[in-house]
Amino acid sequence: MDAQALYALRDVAGIPTHPVVFLILGVATFALHIAAVQIMLGASGLTIWGALSGDAHKRRLAQSMVMVTKFMLSVAILIGVAPLLFVQVTYDPFWYTSNVLSAWWVIGFILILTVASLLWFWFNARNYKLGESKKTSCPGSAILSVILLLVVGFIMHVLTNQMLSPEKWMEWYAPGGVLDTSGRTLHEYNLPRFLFFIVMSVPVIGAVLVGYRRFYLPRLGDESLNMSREYLDWTGRLGQKMISIGGVLTVVMGIWWMATLPEKVAGFAYSPWAIISLLALLGFAAFARWVNAGRMDSLWAYAVLGVGAVAGIVVAIAREILRWDILMGVHNYNAMEYPVNMDWYSTILFFATFLIVGGGALAYMITVAWKAGQTKGVYTPGPVISRMGDIAIALIALWIIQYFAIGFYVWLS
């Protein structure tokens, strides 16, 4: 598929803002999405580990992680919508073709994710007090759920991987000149690339555990939580171990991935972005060790997850640059040349909504959730946080008013 054909596939309506904006948003939201996926996978692994064990600490941890998995599953699906949107904007020729060529798997993605989610919710409903009982009901449902979640992750991996091989599309669509319109085949995968993102769940959930320990320290006296100092210290040590071992494993997977790059972009393995990613991952593990040396009870414990998030963002940027190198360097597709039909109103409205309305409402909600989680009994916010709630409601109401005001004006004019 040459560049002329790739450009012909771009949407005829153009895009409403410069492509670089969509590329940046795509990277940022992918980083958030993959972080949520990794926390979910890591938490689900710890849940199963604990649920199959008789050890009290492991079972108590499983009781927490089953909820973390449930919530992060929702968050991963929710945040995943954004990179899915942005990839269609600038990379539509590649994304749509890749999807059509494996269409049944795309539909399968929806069905399998649905079953996986229902299985986890089912397991959660049957085992919401894992720490207090010695028996686990239907552990198979949790195991099957995680297997299915890995399958949907693999489908998504294949779809993003197939995007990068336009030279093979015709061979997949019409092998030997005979059309294959069934969409039943997953054509191309890169195992180390897939494993890299999956294995990264280990250090990421390790960082979550370090933060988890610190979060519940102030509530040690709350008997309803059933958490002892010994238990929390155990989770901290476990988290640190997972960061160290998981960090090394992730780096190994990353090196394996780089070793399997197509010949034309093999040089990317030695590029600054590959090296910065490597350093970011190692830096994340090293920072966790530094916190472990006497700072686990301080606020530094939360920073471990923050540094991990930075490493994740660096990896997401490197992933995007690799995609750019392949599509631009090998296939001469320049996403930056996407025709722009500038639409200021919808562009400004989005950023205002994202930063002001979304930022305001989420800041309030997350603050309330955080504080309520750290409070024994009923949490009553002070005047500042309470005011934040009023402002959040006012901002959304204002947004609704502008929708109808502008809408009626356009409609009736």
Question: Could you give the dihedral angle defined by the CA atoms of residues 36, 380, 302 and 280, in that order, rounded to the nearest 10 degrees?
Answer: 40
Tell me, by CB under 8 A, how many residues bind another protein.
Answer: 98
- Footprint (CB under 8 A) of another protein, residues 363-382: 364-366, 368-369, 372, 375, 378-381
- Of 161, 185, 353, 374, the one binding another protein by CB under 8 A: 353
Q: In whole angstroms, what is the distance from residue 375 CA to residue 27 CA? A: 36
**Minimum separation from the CB atom of position 150 to another protein (A):** 17
Q: Which is nearer to another protein, 293 or 346 (CB)?
A: 346
- Footprint (CB under 8 A) of another protein, residues 60-119: 71, 73-75, 77-82, 84-86, 88-89, 92-93, 95-97, 99-101, 103-104, 106-107, 109-110, 113-114, 117-118
**Minimum separation from the CB atom of position 340 to another protein (A):** 10
Residue 390 is a binding residue for another protein (CB under 8 A): yes
Contacts of 130-134 with CB under 8 Å at 24 or more apart are 130/47, 130/50, 130/51, 130/59, 130/60, 130/62, 130/63, 130/66, 131/56, 131/59, 131/60, 131/61, 131/62, 131/63, 131/226, 132/63, 132/226, 133/59, 134/54, 134/59
- 340 forms bridges with which residues in the sheet? 15
Assess contact for 46 and 103: CB atoms under 8 A. Answer: no
Residue 401 is a binding residue for another protein (CB under 8 A): no
**Minimum separation from the CB atom of position 226 to another protein (A):** 17
Q: Which is nearer to another protein, 33 or 213 (CB)?
A: 33
Q: In whole angstroms, what is the distance from residue 45 CA to residue 150 CA? A: 12
**Minimum separation from the CB atom of position 216 to another protein (A):** 15
Q: In whole angstroms, what is the distance from residue 265 CA to residue 280 CA? A: 22
Binding mask 17-56 for another protein (x = CB under 8 A): x----x--x-------------------------------
**Minimum separation from the CB atom of position 106 to another protein (A):** 5
Length of the chain: 413
Q: How many Cα neighbours within 13 Å face the side chain of 297? A: 6
Residue 281 is a binding residue for another protein (CB under 8 A): no
- Of 220, 298, 386, 405, the one binding another protein by CB under 8 A: 386
- Footprint (CB under 8 A) of another protein, residues 152-211: 169-170, 173-174, 177-179, 181-183
Q: Which is nearer to another protein, 95 or 300 (CB)?
A: 95
Q: Which is nearer to another protein, 7 or 49 (CB)?
A: 7
Q: In whole angstroms, what is the distance from residue 336 CA to residue 276 CA? A: 24
Assess contact for 46 and 64: CB atoms under 8 A. Answer: no
Binding mask 311-350 for another protein (x = CB under 8 A): ----------------------------x-x-x-xxx-xx
- Of 128, 189, 354, 370, the one binding another protein by CB under 8 A: 354
What the block records as the tokens of 276 is 């910065």
Q: Which is nearer to another protein, 55 or 180 (CB)?
A: 180
CA 296 to chain centre: 26
Binding range to another protein, per CB under 8 A, among 3-11, 132-140, 262-270, 319-327 = 3-11
**Minimum separation from the CB atom of position 260 to another protein (A):** 27
**Minimum separation from the CB atom of position 4 to another protein (A):** 6
H-run or E-run covering 223: none
What the block records as the tokens of 243 is 């960061």
Assess contact for 46 and 65: CB atoms under 8 A. Answer: yes
